[in-house]
Amino acid sequence: MTSSTRASAINLLTALAVLASSDAATAQSVADFYKGRTVTILVGSDVGGGYDLTARTLAHHLARHVPGHPNVIVQNKPGASSIAAANYVYEIAPKDGTVIAAVQRPIPFQTLFGDAGVRFDVRKMQWLGSSSNELGVVVAWHTAPQRTVDDLFKSEMVIGGNGPATDTELFPRAMNHVLGTRFRIVSGYPGQAQIALAMEREEVQGTGNWSFSDIEKGHSDWIADKKIRILLQLGLTKGASPALRDVPLVMDIARNPAERQVFEVLMGMKALGRPYFVAPGVPQDRTDALRAAFMGTMNDPDFLDEAKRVLGPIDPISGADMQSIISNVYALPGEVIATAREAVKIPGAK
């Protein structure tokens, strides 16, 4: 080996050693940072709903997968359909990786829709992942006159809502605007649990969106005892449950390609069923560690065992895949976005 070759080899080995030690230091710095600290999962919904239960189940197991094994707690900050929580984490909360937002699934689309009060840019959020692909259903209480999906076009159906940017209002509003259904939304309920109680009390006739997994876990007897009628599935593909076998999919009742394209955008939200993010300013190494910890938890046998008992099926999407889905949606032609935005617009809003 010549002296020049030997020198080149030494330089290469030195560079590799420096790189390896740099990587080790970075990994160590993440562990050192989180050791003894508390990570807060801030839930943008009320206690007791599907988003809250998912976050609390995640919190029981997440620390094992985060370097340094921090304490993980859950706090609730409901308001404006998770916009309040998203604004807080994006603008105010520490941007050091100690605050994770658990928001409602329309949040990744709020920049697209231009809702009032939004002070964040979805494209700049650092998404950690989503725990499930949430199939929604339109449900009527058994005493309501609506018996099939056709009845949604024939007579007014009074449904409960828990905020203009939530699934319970956004999707039925879009169906009214695009398809011609006749939902009348009674807003002001804190969450889906309270809407279910209102159905039981016959204050409302049903709900324009309810996660089917929530019904299976919390009200399976309502299906068995025929206390509810499932009129329509909301998603890109049909659910596999026997209870949904004869229930049409919203994509199937779109009357033309333009309507179908609008609902392909809107139903894309369902793929991001339970989304989690950290603020843009969180250091990349900590974001990467939290992303890896999130997916590690999604595959943790102890988490999956608890989730099976408490939440239902887990069908996770990684943070990287979420970023890709969101980027693709925001890159759609302007006319498609404009039509989708108009479809979900609150009546009377500018």
Instruction: Enumerate the H helices of the chain as residue ranges.
Output: 3-34, 50-62, 83-91, 110-113, 167-179, 192-200, 212-218, 220-224, 250-253, 257-267, 284-298, 301-310, 319-330, 334-344
Confidence of residue 24 (pLDDT cuts 50, 70, 90): very low
- For residue 27, being part of any structural domain is answered with no
Cβ-based neighbours of 259, under 8 Å, separated by 6 or more: 178, 179
Q: What is the pTM of this model?
A: 0.70
If asked whether residues 94 and 183 sit together in one domain, one would say no
Which pLDDT tens digit goes with each residue over 86-96?
A: 999 999 999 99
- For residue 350, being part of any structural domain is answered with no
Span 147-166, average pLDDT: 93
If asked whether residues 211 and 232 sit together in one domain, one would say yes
pLDDT the model gives residue 350: 59
Chain-centre distance for alpha carbon 262:
19
Q: Which domain holds residue 264?
A: 136-269
Q: In CATH, what number is assigned to the domain containing residue 85?
A: 3.40.190.150
Q: In CATH, what number is assigned to the domain containing residue 141?
A: 3.40.190.10
* Domain total of the chain: 2
Span 19-42, average pLDDT: 75
CA distance 315 to 69: 25
- For residue 206, being part of any structural domain is answered with yes
CA distance 312 to 304: 9
Confidence of residue 258 (pLDDT cuts 50, 70, 90): confident
- For residue 16, being part of any structural domain is answered with no
Question: Does the structure show a pLDDT above 50 at 21?
Answer: no
Q: What is the 3-state secondary structure (H, E, C) of 124-174?
A: HCEEEEECCCCCEEEEEECCCCCCCHHHHCCCCEEEECCCCCCHHHHHHHH
If asked whether residues 313 and 263 sit together in one domain, one would say no
If asked whether residues 203 and 277 sit together in one domain, one would say no
Average pLDDT, whole number, for the chain? 88
